[in-house]
Amino acid sequence: MQFRKCSAAGPPAPESVTRMVRRAYIMASLEQYLALLINFAVLATVARLLTPGEIGEAVTGLAIAVVAFSTREFVTAEFLIQRHAVDREAVGTSLTLQVLCSAAVALGLGLASGLIAGFYGTPDLSFFLLLAAVAGFTEAVAQPVIAILRRNMSFGALAAIRTAVSLVNGLTTILLAVLGFGPISFAWGLLAGAMMLAGLSVMLSPVPTREFFRPGLSRWREVLAFGAFKGAALVVERIQEAVPQLILGRLTSMTAVALYNRSNALCGVPDRIIMSAFYSMAFPALANSIREGYDIEKTYLRVLAYLSVLYWPAAIMVCLLAPQIVRIVLGHQWEEAIPVVRILGLSAVFWAPAIVTGPLLLALGQNRDAFLASLVSRVFAASVLCTASLYGVIAMALSQFIALPVQTAVGFFFVRRHIPFSLRALVAAFAPSAIVTAFALAGPLALVISNEQPQSDLLSFAAATVLAAIGWLAGLHLTRHPFLAEIQIGLRLGRSRIERLRRLLAAGA
């Protein structure tokens, strides 16, 4: 039996595929913008309600939970995305394995919570981890639904679900922080968000409820074959992200963890706006392009050009405006984070090409190479960051200038095994973006140099942003960057919809 909404349809025309991918990116971007606003509100509010040490304790608890639950990617529901059709047995197997794996992880985390709290000398961490374990188990039911919605490129529904989850999580965290709950506010927020995710996923599932909740294991071999490499890759990735901070918290203080984590969060704004939106729709879109027989080399290089022209100016802007950003978002009590933000913002320019590697290799069906690329780069990065964490926050930030370029180089190596692009083609893809970045940064750099002590951080930030936007658009026109066509298409669509709305209003009058 096959579900009509989930099964593969006939091949769409190239124009419809392009429109579908473009619409998917817009919806994924909208979701990221809404989530960013919510997270920023939480970040700014909680930074003024809790001490850096309390936030460091919460960050530690969340990092441990994230690493623990990343192991369920060995039975990832994303195997549904690459299937030609999704049937009842595949969905039932995915749900069953997700629930069983999440239950095992939650039980293990709960049993180990006391030992972990003792290791860090923070008794409250035990209850934090118990709540995180319940939250991780609760959201297991949502994983197959999210995968099917991504497969169908239903990013409008995904945006609605994730925005609601972010709101519930954020409001719960802020409310409890105001009431004086301290670091545990984050854990209760996590649990509230997980409950909302599970509920909305069941409500909006393309699969009928009676069919969805039928357990089964008939496709377990297929799930494990797909998830073995992806799960290992994600575990390595999460360890690389979390373990250096966990070492920092054990050897120095929870305050140091908070400084690094919040600096990373601020520098992650371009990543959240641009890269995460791309990543959420990249695997389905690339897989669809490959199924339809498009020139994947041309697609890959164009994606690199698009990402770099968006990401590079934004990342370096964070570096330039670090003092204003820290004071506006976190407050004056976090000024120790300014040099960390500068370093992380500048090093982030090396990250743009690396994010394409995983989705592309998975779309090509090269799960083993996707795993090896992630394993090699992440193990190296984790080794560098863990070593640097022994010497403090600044050393840990500086180590990104070693870790990120190596990750990018490893990604290029594995991609070239399947897409033999030339160095000349790669430079041709990046060169216009570099020129546009220079145009975008000229105005803000002049402003920062001429006004080292701005009277208003908000006005200074706004002025620099406007100058950057003007320079960026000028650079796009002068270089005839391919992304300019996307802007022109967006403007035409906007004008047509405004005209359509005007006609409807006129007809109604």
- 331-381 pLDDT tens trace: 888 989 999 999 999 999 998 888 888 777 877 777 788 888 888 888 899
Q: Are residues 212 and 342 in the same domain?
A: no
Mean pLDDT of 200-225: 79
Q: Are residues 293 and 178 in the same domain?
A: no
Range of the domain at 435: 252-500
Looking at residue 270, what is its pLDDT? Answer: 82
185 inside domain: yes
Percentage of the chain modeled with pLDDT above 90: 39
pTM of the model: 0.74
DSSP secondary structure string for all residues of 72-107: GGGG-TTHHHHSSS-BHHHHHHHHHHHHHHHHHHHH
At residue 279 the predicted structure's pLDDT band, cuts being 50, 70 and 90, is: low
C-alpha distances in angstroms, 52 versus 221, 224, 246?
46, 41, 15
The residues, any chain, with a CB within 8 Å of residue 361's CB and separated by 6 or more, are 367, 369, 370, 373, 414, 415, 418
* Max CA distance (Å), the chain: 70
245 inside domain: no
122 inside domain: yes
Mark which of 160, 194, 218 sits at the end of a domain: 218
CA atoms within 13 A on the CB side of 226: 21
42 inside domain: yes
Residue entry with tokens 């066509």: 485
Q: Are residues 445 and 317 in the same domain?
A: yes
Asked if 185 and 56 touch (Cβ cutoff 8 Å), the reply is no
Q: Are residues 182 and 309 in the same domain?
A: no
Q: Are residues 276 and 207 in the same domain?
A: no
User: Worst-scoring range by mean pLDDT, 13-22, 135-144, 215-224, 408-417?
Assistant: 13-22
Residues in the chain: 509
Q: Are residues 25 and 133 in the same domain?
A: yes
Mean pLDDT of 26-46: 80
How many distinct structural domains can be found in the chain? 2
